[in-house]
Amino acid sequence: MDKLYSLGFLLNRTSVALGKTLNNKLQEADIDLPHSQFVVLRCIYYRDGLSQLEISNLLFKDAAAIKRTIDNLEKKGYIERRQVHSQKNSIFITEQGKSVLPEAFKIAEAVVGIALKNFSEKEVQNLMNALNIIYENVEKS
């Protein structure tokens, strides 16, 4: 195998390709939600009320990048910041944010379907297990 195509290279290439494909499909559907914003909005949808730092940690993303993404989502009216108890700026999804997600979820699911179209259910499960094992091995080191 060509040394260029290391595990890290292949994982990154796949991630980038999935993101680009999702961006294209969302644009085709006139959904103003790039992949980077979709990932954050999806996180907030499932875990409403998190802080920027918590979102950053959950998504393994740089805090500054998450801040920019949250700023953009707030400008679009998809999320809002609220102070809850002593925690500053908890992030909540708005009704407008919720309204854009059903179609975005369908598109994201279709993109995953494209990526996995030649895999059996067992192969998909094995792939998911292998990726989790790789992650756990790296985290333990």
Measure the CA angle with vertex 75, ends 70 and 81; round to 5°.
55
Give the CATH number for residue 32.
1.10.10.10
φ, ψ dihedrals at 50, nearest 5°? -75, 160
Rounded Cα distance between 59 and 68, Å, is: 14
Q: What is the pTM of this model?
A: 0.90
In the chain, the N- to C-terminal Cα span, in Å, equals 26
Residue 80 counted as domain residue: yes
From the list 105, 111, 103, 106, the residue with the least C-alpha distance to 30 is 103
Please check whether residue 123 lies inside any domain of the structure: no
Does 124 fall in a domain?
no
User: pLDDT digits over 31-81, tens only?
Assistant: 999 999 999 999 999 999 999 999 999 999 999 999 999 999 999 999 999
Structural domain total, the chain:
1
Residue 134 belongs to some domain of the structure: no
Bridge partner list, 84: 87
| Residue numbers of the domain that contains 84 | 3-115
